[in-house]
Structure formats: C-alpha cells, structure tokens
Homo-oligomer: A and B are copies of this chain.
Amino acid sequence: MSRMEALLNLVRPTQRELARQANEEPKGRTRMSGIYELLRRDILECRLKPGVRLRFEELRALYEIGLSPLREALMKLASDGLVVLEEHKGFRVAPVSRSDLLDITFMRKEFDAMGVRLSIEKGDDAWESSILASLHELSKKPKLGPDGLVDAEWEKRHRAFHLTLVSACGSPWMLHFREQLYDQADRYRRLSVQYLREPRDHLAEHREIAEAALARDSDAAVFLIRRHLDRTVQILLAADGVLSAEL
C-alpha cells in the first residue's frame, strides 16, 4: 500500500464504519457501555434517587437488558462512587449526606485551584483561545429553559467551560479525579435546585474568572473559582432540607 493510499484509508471511513454510522447507535458500542451511560445519567439526574435499591429483575425489565452487562455497568458505577455494593445483598444508588457534599466541594476547590494555577503557568495561546471560545458558547445559552428547568445544553457548556480553565494543567490524573467529583457534585446540584431561582449573575462570575485566567493572575483566578464553588454549595445547603438538617 502506498503512503498516500495509507493516508486515505485513515481519513476515509470504511464501508463498515459508514454502515455503523448510518445505523442508530449513538451510545456505546457494547450493551455494557450503553447501559452504563444510561444508569449514570439516571443517577446524576436523580431519576434514580439516592439510597434506592437496584434490583436486577426491575432493572432488567426497565432497561431491557441481560444480567451480565447490567452487573458490569453497576460494578463500574460502584467504582465511580455512584452506587454502592453490599455483597450478596445487592446494589443501591449511593446515599447523599451533608458531610459528603462538603468533602466533595472541598476537594473540587483544591483541584480547580491547583488546575488553574498550573494552566496559567503552562497554558499556551490555544488554551487562552479555548477559554474565550467556551465562555462565548456558555454566554450564548440562557441557563434556564422555557420550562424553568436548568437547560441541559447549558449544563454541558458550563461543564466544558470549567474543564477548559484547568485543561492545560498537564496532569491526566488530576483531570480524571476532578471529573469524578464534578459528576458527584452534579448529582447534589440536581437533587435540590431543579426549579430554584438563584439571585446570582452566573455570566458575570464566569467572565471574571476567565479574565483573571487570561490575565495570568493566578491568585485572582483561584480566589474567584473558590468563591464560585462556595456560593454554589451554600445555595444547595440552604435549599435542601435533608442536607442542611443533617449533622
């Protein structure tokens, strides 16, 4: 095979790939990864409520899937800390607690602070422009949809913006841990503030953070990010009776 043909083969999808794209399969390729994504979403969005027991017969009927991929997906979710497994007793959706939320927030602040510091130190022009780009996309989407719920697309862009801020840190492990905690925090957020109207100017906060990062002002960026996360957790604690009541 000539070099040019080899290149073309890389660029041009094979017939099989085209066929696969045509067929509907937007989820994972195996049943296991498909059900994993589905369960993860349902847990993060609190359709599966904290503490709820996950019986195999129910899940099997609900998601129309066999036992093997189901167990494997739940195992992975257990490693993510989204479900808990008690041996011979089965899986449950991970419980929530005020102390857990505080711990998650504490670690998120540490990760995001460390991440943005390193990114400011190491980030190049591409990093700077990606901040501008993700801030722009975020600003173009209103937070609340027509139904008063937080817009799904906004959440996606919000996640992307905060990831961009730390994306030049150079530590894959940090980004991995950070993402795990972002998921955890997401669940708490959706647990209590589905309909809550916050007296808060998100866009201004995000713009401030982006400006500090672009100005390479580490201390300011860290301060603003920490305050951003603190405000969120304060609102959650104030809004949710269960979380604020617990000692």
Interface of A is mostly: helix
Q: Does A207 contact B (CB under 8 A)?
A: no
A29-54 interface bits toward B, Cβ cutoff 8 Å, 1 = contact, 0 = none: 11011000000000000000000000
Smallest beta-carbon distance A62→chain B, Å: 21
- A30-B87, A68-B68, A75-B72 in contact; A110/B114 too (CB < 8 A)? yes
Quick one: copies of this chain in the complex? 2
Q: Does A181 contact B (CB under 8 A)?
A: yes
Q: Does A235 contact B (CB under 8 A)?
A: no
Residues of chain B within 8 A (CB-CB) of A76 are 75-76, 78-79
Residues of chain B within 8 A (CB-CB) of A81 are 176
Chain A contact residue count (CB 8 A cutoff): 31
Chain-B contact segment, one of A153-161, A166-174, A189-197: A166-174
Q: Does A148 contact B (CB under 8 A)?
A: no
Smallest beta-carbon distance A133→chain B, Å: 26
The residue in chain B whose Cβ has the minimal distance to the Cβ of A36 is B75
Contact of A171 among B28, B30, B106, B173 (CB under 8 A): B106
What CA separation (Å) do A103 and B68 show in the bound complex?
A: 35
Contact of A68 among B29, B71, B88, B181 (CB under 8 A): B71
Contact of A72 among B28, B71, B110, B170 (CB under 8 A): B71
- A87-B29, A88-B29 in contact; A107/B174 too (CB < 8 A)? yes
Q: Does A80 contact B (CB under 8 A)?
A: yes
The residue in chain B whose Cβ has the minimal distance to the Cβ of A108 is B173
The residue in chain B whose Cβ has the minimal distance to the Cβ of A172 is B103
Q: Does A104 contact B (CB under 8 A)?
A: yes
What CA separation (Å) do A35 and B58 show in the bound complex?
A: 28
Residues of chain B within 8 A (CB-CB) of A104 are 173
What CA separation (Å) do A87 and B36 show in the bound complex?
A: 13
Residues of chain B within 8 A (CB-CB) of A63 are none
